[in-house]
Amino acid sequence: MARATGETEGTGTPSPSRRRRTRALAASTALTALTALAALAVQATALTAAPASAGTLPQGHDVSSHQRAVDWAAARARGASFVYVKATEATGYRNPYFARQYGGALRAGLLRGAYHFARPDLSSGAAQAAFFVRHGGAWRPDGRTLPPALDLEDNPYDRRQGPYDRRQGCYGLSGARTVAWIRAFSDEVLRLTGRRPVLYTTAHWWDTCTGGSRAFGADHALWIARHGSGPGTLPAGWSTWTFWQYGTGGGLPGDRNLFNGSPARLRAFARGPGESRVHGHHDDRLSSSSVHPGYLPSTRQ
């Protein structure tokens, strides 16, 4: 091993000049570290504080097995009025904490819904939708259950390094096959529950992996994921958002979200269309005065 520059030959003891340089280097390093910590603190504040544009919009969050035991009473005390809980992934994974999380949120007085993490590379959209609904994704018009949601994002199991690989990030599917997979999932959820799923995604994933499809904006609520001060450009097909995942922390477990409407409209969104039915399903065709503009439910009953 090479000897450090500035050490006294044969003794291993730093020379006076080495000690001066070491003290100067230590001071410089400390200053750099403090600057970096300050920058991280500013960044964390930006991510955990509600955006200035939030105003009085209902606050919520989303959790998964990573959060395990959640203090729901504390979450509500910190301003949460709704939560989405991960239920399933593909057709083989169930969140082992789902029942406790889902039930705990209800007992604390939060509106709650379930979401499914899409794995279009493993099985069909219809098969994954059926698995999801059987294991937590069901919806009922009780005013306390949010419609089921589908999580569409980059493939987290693609561990390749280097430039973004569209085929891997999109699970190896073409745009047309991705659109067909989402439609099959949505149709099966609608058949089983009477509600179209909320679609969670980023503008980048959607426009890259569906080829900028505009086929879902007319009958699916959008849950846009973009951490920062604004939701940014929306995916193709949508002119407004229903939920916005904008950051993490701030006293709420998991990711923080906003609902694009008043508390009354959030409750209306959960209740759905009431008891009227079309072709055996709940009629989701509500007027714009009944729900906020981001709620664009099914017209394909």
Catalytic residues: 62, 151, 153
Joined together, the tokens standing for residue 119 give 């794995």
Say if residues 287 and 297 touch (Cβ distance below 8 Å). Answer: no
- The two three-digit tokens of residue 129, written as one number: 């939708």
Burial of 178 (0-12, 13-18, 19+ CB in 10 A): buried
110 is written with which tokens? 């939060």
Phi, psi of 190 (to 5 degrees): -60, -45
Q: How far apart are CA 113 and CA 147, in angstroms?
A: 6
Q: Strand runs (DSSP E) across 157-278, as ranges?
A: 198-201, 222-225, 243-248, 255-259, 277-278
Q: Are strands 222-225 and 243-248 parallel, antiparallel or unpaired?
A: parallel
User: Could you tell me how far CA 115 lies from the centroid of its own chain?
Assistant: 9
